[in-house]
Amino acid sequence: MITSTAVKELRDKTNAGMMDCKKALEEAKGNIDQAIEILRKKGLSIAQKKSGRLAHEGILGTHYNDNGKLGLIVEVNCETDFVVKTDDFQKFVTQATDLVHNKAPKNIEELQSSLQETVTSLIAKIGENIQVRRFARWEAKSPQEKIGFYLHAGSKIGVLTLVSDKDSKVDVNAAKEIAMHIAAMHPKYVRREEVPAEVVAKEKEIQAANVDPKKPAAIREKIVEGKLGKFYSEVCLEEQVFVKDPEGKKTVRDWLKSQSPNARIEKFARLQVGET
């Protein structure tokens, strides 16, 4: 006979459901170790079945050092917003965040591998696909670098930005202002030199198709270049109009230069839950 004490012991060790623990103990004829193995195999089977299901909900785990030396964001996904609010899911997000903070994995594959056993058990318990999708972890390499951090309400959008300034005039508050702008305006690149040549070529092709072919070639070229400039102002962070400029004219680059002439945005990461 399987006692309630044995069921509780197995549940405490595995976090599996009460009925799953009872069935595993019955199959193992009361042997705790064998029951644990049965539950692990069952959990792996469930995880494999659910791993192909879409997981577009979730939350961002974050850590930020207030002096701008270290910042990180981890995206963890599940299938429904209901699961996001559960203690089990929240604890797992904290575990993943702590792992990125303390172990600094080299890539997402290394992080996923470190958490695989926990993910398998959590899928078996919760009944939804759980994924650690991506992360960004940056450390400032010198006092002239500052990491800006912003987490939008609901922990669905998070931004890191790295700003350098050889004069050390730019502080973490300025870096945060830029991070807030990135959250709102969703740039794709820091500056136009980073836009891939094939993207520029495709944009030119699209804009050229919308120009009156009867116009002289030189005029058509100027029109295309003008439209390309507008494209850059939409996708390049430095050329976007800074959201906090009261007159709506100053670009992000100009605003940053007003803080310190030698300041430069090195890179940014914008993570939005479920974004493809």
DSSP string, 150-198: EE-TTS-EEEEEEEEETT----HHHHHHHHHHHHHH--SBSSGGGS-HH
Residues 259 and 179 in one domain: yes
Residues 39 and 64 in one domain: no
The model's pLDDT over 5-45, given as tens digits with 9 standing for 90+, comes to 888 887 777 666 677 788 888 888 888 888 877 776 666 44
* Calpha distance 72→64 (Å, rounded): 6
202: containing domain = 196-235
Q: From the CB of residue 44, how many other CB atoms can be counted at a distance below 10 Å?
A: 16
* 135, two tokens: 């992360």
The model's pLDDT over 225-235, given as tens digits with 9 standing for 90+, comes to 889 999 999 99
Residues 115 and 77 in one domain: yes
Residues 63 and 45 in one domain: no
Tell me, what CATH number does 106's domain have? 3.30.479.20
User: Percentage of residues in the chain with pLDDT exceeding 90?
Assistant: 61
Residues 88 and 134 in one domain: yes
Residues in the chain: 276
Residues 276 and 152 in one domain: yes
The model's pLDDT over 143-195, given as tens digits with 9 standing for 90+, comes to 999 999 999 978 999 999 999 999 999 999 999 999 999 999 999 999 999 99
Residues 11 and 96 in one domain: no
Q: Say what the pTM is.
A: 0.80
Residues 98 and 68 in one domain: yes
The model's pLDDT over 206-231, given as tens digits with 9 standing for 90+, comes to 888 888 778 888 888 888 888 999 99
Residues 76 and 127 in one domain: yes
The distance of Cα 52 from the centroid of its chain, to the nearest Å, equals 20
Number of folded domains that form the chain: 4
Average pLDDT over residues 123-137: 89
Query: Which CB contacts under 8 angstroms, 24+ apart, belong to 142-146?
Result: 143/168, 144/168, 145/68, 145/266, 146/68, 146/170, 146/171, 146/172, 146/174, 146/175
Residues 149 and 211 in one domain: no
Residue with tokens 């996708």: 235
